[in-house]
Amino acid sequence: MWVAFALGGIAAVLIGLANGSMRRLVIGGGVALAVAYFAFPMFAADGFVSRDTVSPTLFGLAPTHPALALVLLAALVGVAAARLPPRIGGSLVALGALVTAGLTWSAQAGSPQLVHLLPLPGLMEALTGLALAAALTLLGWGSRRLRIPMLVIGVAAGVLAFGFLGGPAGHRLFPNADGYYRLTTPVGESVQTAIVAEYNANLDTINAQRTRIGLHTLPPIESVKNLDTERLPEAASSKGYRMLRPAKSRYGVWVAMLLAGVLLGSGAMLAWRPRLHGSGDLAGGILYAAVLLSLAPAFASTEFSFAKLAEGWPFLMKFLDRAWPPLWADPSYGQFGIFPLQEVASQMLITLEIALVGTFLGALFAVPLSFLAARNLTQGNALMRVVFAVTRGLFNLDRGVDTLILALIFVAAVGLGPFAGVLAMAIHSIADLGKLYSESIENVDRGPIEALEAVGASGSNVVRWSILPQVSPLFLGWTLYRFEINFRVSIVLGLVGAGGIGFFIQDKMSSGRYDQMIIAILAIVIVVNIIDFASSWLRSRLV
Amino acid sequence: MIEVANLHKVFPDGTKALQDVSVSIPDGDFVAVIGLSGAGKSTFLRCLNRLVDPTGGTIAVGGSDVATLRGRALQRYRRTVGFIFQQFNLVTRLSVLDNVLSGRLGYHPTWRGMLALYSDRDYELAQAAIREVGLAGRENTRVDQLSGGQQQRVAIARAMTQEPDLILADEPMASLDPRLSDVILGLLKQYNEARGVTVLVNIHVIELAKRYARRVIAFNQGRIVFDGPVSELDHDLESTIYAGSLETL
């Protein structure tokens, strides 16, 4: 926790010493802290089972920890620093940062306590509606003509989304959203006594179960303080009571401390050197805040952890140890011997062939379709415009479904093996190549088209004699480019059972034959580089 | 005989490119169309072969109105009109012969064109035109290997291969070295005199117009401000033709 505080402070001071704008950091830190105050989880509050656990925000903790409201004040001072004289603003921000760090630390060091959850119904629904309205409005804001219509559409969509999510249909689809945001409120003496009594009443049943599975029995408790490591009784949990355990901190604590460090460092630097500010500090600060606000939850969600990496390091070493030297071939193994290098060679060939056939089939269908998806060839009449829209729509739909996902579906339909992979690759390539081809057609030189119209050539002959000669080298280039990508895709196709070297890797990995798998990895590195090099050399000679 | 009556062209953005243009051009004439950039010269030429659709008026060619032709009939009319562009508009990745032969596409059914099934006569016409513009022996050269002057000569050969009744040339020398102007205009003049084919050339260099044309049509802001033999062009008239140049440019 203090590591984050120190990191933030040091980073801010270093940026300040490099003459970076401190006011920008102060604003960014303030905005981020204000959002984190309302949105980032701080501590765990446990109930009966693990899914009862909720993680209140600083705002959610306000009823039980009133002093934490000062954190919001500190954040707002940071935002207000945009308008304050640098020396005064900087000093206030530094002071606020110290208060934030102190309060966060003392709340985190506090002992477990019993709280009651007070849901704020409709809050998440309203926020979703607001976000939708804001996004749609911003989309049209740049154009004078679209500004008002998009504002109206945005507000209407926001209200509709709020109504839908807040209604019974929305609660059925997203049960978690109902009363998702909760405040923690203090619990009176009498309720505490009742929960202690309930716990003790259930103790006989629980201890009987514990004895049966060989665990020691639990003693009766005298106050809720004794529940600091035990779970709450089921009935209390379902009534909304939780044990708030500040020691089980969430990423919000880390973010608050980091921001306190940044605000302390940048506020102090700003007070010391008031000239450290620039134009566009408000926009820049909001950008900093947006980056931090999206990264912090993302790191938390993806469970990023150096500790786990350190734990896993010996396994990595052991893997390399077992993978080297590679087992190229062992004729004396078993009855027939094993020949991994030979198998890698033939599987690599199949992988290459999947990419060849997939790309060829994709191109075969993409060429004619791309002419229907080229805007400049389809403006003749209403029917052609519909054809254009439909073709483009299909391309976009198809491009959205990755080859690997298509392969999973085709494996289910036509069975394991390279055929499923080829089908998936061809279908995905049609859309991808079709889009690239049609964009090439849209960019052709209009002059020759006009010239052939002027000699009285028919529409198809104009395409044949002025567009085709212009786009054919471009088509070839895109096809080669797609082939490069398809080859890399076909390597992983084997992982879903659609044939090729990926299957070999999966097989050897799961049976622990790392000394055979390493051959496939080496082969992939070599062949991918050869193909990329050859393809880009060919493409450079096409023009 | 081309008879243009009350021709109007208003572009969708409201620009009045041609206003009430009436002119009659006898067969075999060599006409220079002069005027400032944006005076309507180019729109006028493009209306004559319907690369631009006029918004009003008639264009009678050989007695029938071509201003409203559509589809196949328009293609049949266009094959009799050679058009030479300022930017040549050749397919540079194809050979000289392929480009020149494409002048015959209007004379064959679509499927024959798609398969490049040109007749022996098409090849003879194409070879003759290539010889006439002085590119004999370069038939199989790719057009992007040629100089700008040679490319424009390929474009002229393509127009000649159409066996046209009318040749329209829209600033054919504007993107070439000035010394090549005489080559290009000389070729058109020679073709006009040898075959009696009507030629209309847009020129912005008035000296060239005086040297080659028999007749001059001058445009200013979409209207014809002068129409007569070259000899009648004097200094006063020229300043009328180029009036308002500084404001409009």
Per-residue pLDDT tens digits for A157-195: 999 999 998 888 888 888 888 888 899 999 888 888 888
- Sequence length of chain A is 543
B76 in contact with A, Cβ within 8 Å: yes
Q: What is the ipTM of this complex?
A: 0.91
Residue A126 neighbours by CB distance under 10 Å: 16
Work out the mean pLDDT of chain A and round it to a whole number.
Answer: 89
**Cα–Cα distance for residue pair A339/A346, rounded to 1 Å:** 11
- Residues A244-279 have pLDDT tens digits of 998 888 999 999 999 999 999 999 998 888 888 888
Res A494: pLDDT: 84
Cα distance between residue A381 and residue A369, in whole Å: 18
Domains and CATH numbers, chain A: 2-116+194-214+234-301 (no CATH), 340-540 (1.10.3720.10)
**Contacts of residue B59, Cβ cutoff 8 Å, sequence gap at least 6:** B2, B3, B4, B7, B47, B48, B65, B66, B67
Question: pLDDT: is B243 or A269 the higher one?
Answer: A269
B148 touches chain A (CB under 8 A): no
CA dist A79 → A31, A286, A335, A527, B97 (Å): 6, 10, 76, 55, 72
Mean pLDDT of all residues in A368-372: 92
> For residues A211 and B133, what is the distance between their CA atoms, to the nearest angstrom?
108
Report CB contact under 8 Å: A465, B105: yes
> Which of A446, A455, A542 to mutate to test binding with chain B, by most B CBs within 10 Å of its CB?
A455
Q: Could you read off the pLDDT of A110-130 as tens digits, one per residue?
A: 888 889 999 888 888 899 999
Q: Are strands B30-35 and B198-202 parallel, antiparallel or unpaired?
A: parallel
Contacts of A461 in chain B (CB under 8 A): 105, 110, 113-114
| Yes or no, beta carbons of B93 and A473 under 8 Å apart | yes
The domains found in chain B, sorted by start residue, are: 26-53+70-248 (3.40.50.300)
Q: What is the pLDDT of residues B174-216, one digit of tens each?
A: 888 888 888 899 999 999 999 999 999 998 888 888 888 999 9
pLDDT at A430 over 90: yes
Beta bridge partners of A245: A44
Which chain B residue has the Cα nearest residue A473? B93
H-type alpha helices, chain B: 41-48, 71-78, 96-101, 110-114, 120-132, 148-161, 181-195, 206-212, 235-241, 245-248
Cβ–Cβ below 8 Å for A451 and B105: no
- Report the chain A residue with the minimal C-alpha distance to residue B159: A455
B41 touches chain A (CB under 8 A): no
Residue B249, pLDDT > 60, answer no
Give the strands of the sheet with B64-65, arranged side by side: B16-25, B2-10, B56-61, B64-65
Specify the DSSP class assigned to residue B249: -
